[in-house]
Amino acid sequence: MAFLLLAAMHFGLVITEPSMKPSSINSVTVWPKTLFPVELGQTVTWVFSPIGGADYDVNSALSFDIGGQRAYRVQKDKCGGPLEKYFSCIYKPQNEISVTFTADESHYGQLLQVFYYKDMYSLWLADTPAIFTETIQLIKQPTFVKMSMELKEPSRYIHNVPTNLRLDPPIFLTGSNVRIDCSTDGSLPPAPISFSIECPLPPTAVVEHDRVTQAKQNLAYEVFYAAYGFRSPPTLAELAPYVARKNADQLLRLGHVSSSKDNLTLTARLTINEKAHDCHVVCRLGGKETRRILTVYCKCDHTLF
């Protein structure tokens, strides 16, 4: 050592102790791991914490990709990217980074991936495994479900109707062909509007008539009760809900229902008969529904009821 000092004095050299470069942050953890599904418009927040290391490398980056495309990048001194309007970042103590994300409808169902690149080499090599992978699932209730009705073909009995009888939807004459349109602003996950018919319990006389008709067709409820879903031969009171559902199903079976590809509209075509009287037609999506009650005038035995 004395020799080194003498040499240094003779040649004018300055000897310094080797400096220890602080280790960089090589990896980070993210919390929480799962945030989706969320309400459309809700902001989600992740916190990224370093695992060891004193500081981030100047070229380190958190990269957010949506649908395989770069959306946002967080580096030591800046945040930004093509989709930066949906993101924000906050640098916190202890080298933690908070990132918020507000997804919109266009992001629904796309894959969100987050990568941490510790330095320029890993950034350009781009072979770093994702530290976070999640499919963006959004929930949105429709704000409305609307219904409109239109008489497409009048009943052949229309000429027998008194001139003072009002026959505007939802009031119809038997034999009328009706179009029902349902519309909505949609939901997430995307779902079609449902259309149903709900009929009230028929009078006892109507239930008895149905029971007798089934017996005449050798399909008596008392004999084949199990085939109709009853545990024992049904009473007229027990048959009433079944007959109501059967009337509704018949109206649907004789009609036609179709939905649009975007799930925003539905069209139903119905042929109105006397069984539709006092039945509700219902358009429903999520927690929203619209219903209308049908009034039906029947032309039977040349008499209008």
pTM reported for the whole predicted model: 0.76
Between CA 83 and CA 73 the distance in angstroms is 10
Provide the residue ranges of all domains of the chain, joining segments of one domain with +: 24-139, 145-304
Q: Structure tokens of 152?
A: 């497409």
Between CA 209 and CA 224 the distance in angstroms is 17
Cβ atoms of 157 and 299 within 8 Å: the answer is yes
38-39 and 138-139 strand pairing: parallel
- pLDDT one-digit tens code per residue, 239-288: 999 999 999 999 999 999 999 999 999 999 999 999 999 999 999 999 99
Q: Structure tokens of 295?
A: 């009034």
- Stretch (H or E) spanning 139: strand 138-139
CATH topology of domain 24-139: Immunoglobulin-like (2.60.40)
- pLDDT one-digit tens code per residue, 89-111: 999 999 999 999 999 999 999 99
For residue 179, pLDDT over 50 is answered with yes
- Asked: is 145-304 a CATH 2.60.40 domain? The reply is yes
Axis crossing angle, helix 204-216 with helix 236-253, rounded to the nearest 10: 80
Q: Which of 49-53, 139-143, 163-167 has the lowest mean pLDDT?
A: 163-167
Confidence of residue 9 (pLDDT cuts 50, 70, 90): very low
